[in-house]
Amino acid sequence: MRLATLLLGFASATFAQLSDGVATSVSRTVTLTADTADFSVIAGAAIDTTQQQITQIFLDAGISSLSLFGTALSQNYDYSTNPPATQTQVLYQFTFSVPAAGLKDAAKIMEDLRTKPPALLKSLQYTAALNASQSTVDAMRQTLLPQLIADAQKKAQALAAAAGLKLGAVKGVTDSYYATGNSGAYWIGSSPFGGTFSSSSGGSGTQYIFNANLTFSVAP
C-alpha cells in the first residue's frame, strides 16, 4: 500500500511538471584542437621596481601582449649568511598567449630570461600549456547548439508521449560549456628551485562538455 502511495505521488508530481512544460537537459563531449599556448609568468623584482620596467624587459625580449594578472609582495631568504638575510620583493604575475606552434620559441625566450636575467629581474617562474582558443570553443558551440536542441526535442517528445501529451513549442533555452581537462596536451615550465620541466601526453587537444537546457510547452 505504501509503495502504491509513493508511485501515485510520483506520478502526480510528474504530471504537474509536464502540465507546466517539459524540461530536458542534454550534453555532448568533444575534443577540440589545442591551437593556443597560454603562459603564466611570475616575475620578482626589488620593491621599488615598477610594472612598466618589468614589462619592458619582456617587450625587449620579444614577448608582447602581456596582461597583468596580479601583484603581491614576498620575502626571500638568503641562508648563506647567519642570521639569514631577508629581502622583500614585488611579484608581478603576467599572462600572455601565442599560437600553439610558437610554444617552444616563447618558452626559449622565457628560459633565457630565467637563466640570464637582466639586473632588474630578481626571480622568474613560468608555466605554459596548450589549450583550445576562445574562438575555437565559440565555433564549436555554434556547431553543436542546433544538434543539442534536436537531441533535447527528441528526449522531450518521448517524455510527453509517455504521459499522453503533445509536445509544443520551445518556451526557454539556456546553454553552457566547460573544459574537463587537457587531452593529449603539452606543458612546459620552470621550477622556483631552478631548471625546467616539460610533459607531453602524446597529442594536442582538450575536452569540453557542451550542455543545453530546454523547456517545451505541452498540450493535452
Q: What is the pLDDT of residues 128-137, one digit of tens each?
A: 988 999 999 9
Q: What is the pLDDT of residues 40-59, one digit of tens each?
A: 999 999 999 999 999 999 99
Domains in the chain with CATH codes: 21-33+134-219 (3.30.110), 37-126 (3.30.70)
Query: What's the whole-model pTM score?
Result: 0.74
Whether pLDDT at 168 is above 50:
yes
Average pLDDT of the segment spanning 143-160: 95
pLDDT at 188: 75
pLDDT at 10: 37
Phi-psi region of 202 (alpha: psi -120 to 50; beta: other; left: phi over 0): left
DSSP 60: H
All three cell numbers of 43: 616575475
DSSP 183: S
Strand, coil or helix: what is 123? Answer: strand
Enumerate the H helices of the chain as residue ranges.
Answer: 2-20, 51-61, 103-115, 134-162
Give CA–CA dist 155/101, Å, rounded: 42
All three cell numbers of 132: 583550445
pLDDT at 108: 93
Nearest CA among 71, 76, 94 for reference residue 86 = 76
pLDDT at 180: 87
SS3 content of the chain, % helix, strand, coil (to 5): 35, 45, 20
